[in-house]
Amino acid sequence: MKQKTNGFSQRYGKALRKHLKRGSHTSLQPALELGRLAVALGLETLELARIHERVLALLKSPNQPNETARKGELFFSEAISPIVETHRAAKQSKIDLNRLNIALNRRTLELASTNRQLQRGIIRRKSVETALKKSGEHYSRLLNDSLQLQEGLRQLTHQVLAGQEDERRKISRELQDEIAQTLLGINVRLISLKQEARLNTRSLKNEIASAQRLVVKSAKSVRQVARKFGNS
């Protein structure tokens, strides 16, 4: 792991050096890619911050210390965004899965009630079997009907369990995909707002409105999935 971290620090230093040498409008895509690599390596926020500070200390320009710090801050903000989003997505997923577990527990209780009814039905069937042993064809017909009913209830119980598991997986995927994508879009917008506020205040209102729309979309998506789950 230490070897991987050292290799990452070298890549980070090269990318940051190139970023500091270029103009203010240079792309932050290399920083974003480094952030994704950090997530893949299992690096946390504090570890990435330490790497950034060490690299920046070596690259600071004595002639333009403030400009170097500002560019370095933009680069670090972009690099750390995948880690932040991973934490947020994981936290939200945990909340959603807790809600799902509550709903599944409720379904389990309902199923237990159904099973108790089934057991009572089996007991009644056995009682009927004992009483009908003297009735010949009538007994055979009722016994056959009882066995068919038991098989139908067993299949129904299996279908309910399978449906619950499919529903849980489907809702979990929907929550993770929808929320992660929308929150990533919000984060990108906010970073863009930060840059626009320093470089071009004209389009700042438009960017704010766009970010607000993404927030509304995220809230709407969460409500839709939660409503769909609640009605299921």
pLDDT value at residue 183: 66
- DSSP three-state, residue 165: helix
Say how many domains are in the chain: 1
Q: What DSSP state is assigned to residue 23?
A: -
Domain that holds residue 221: 2-231
pLDDT value at residue 29: 92
Q: In order along the chain (232 residues), what is the average pLDDT of each group of 10 residues?
A: 79 88 79 92 90 84 72 90 86 70 76 83 80 69 84 87 81 70 70 67 73 79 70 62
User: Cα–Cα–Cα angle for 45, 51, 55, nearest 5°?
Assistant: 145
Cβ atoms of 92 and 182 within 8 Å: the answer is no
Burial (0-12, 13-18, 19+ Cβ within 10 Å), 104: middle
b/e 143-157 (16+ beta carbons within 10 angstroms → b): eeebeeeeeebeeee
Cβ atoms of 179 and 92 within 8 Å: the answer is yes
Q: Distance between CA 59 and CA 72 in Å, rounded?
A: 10
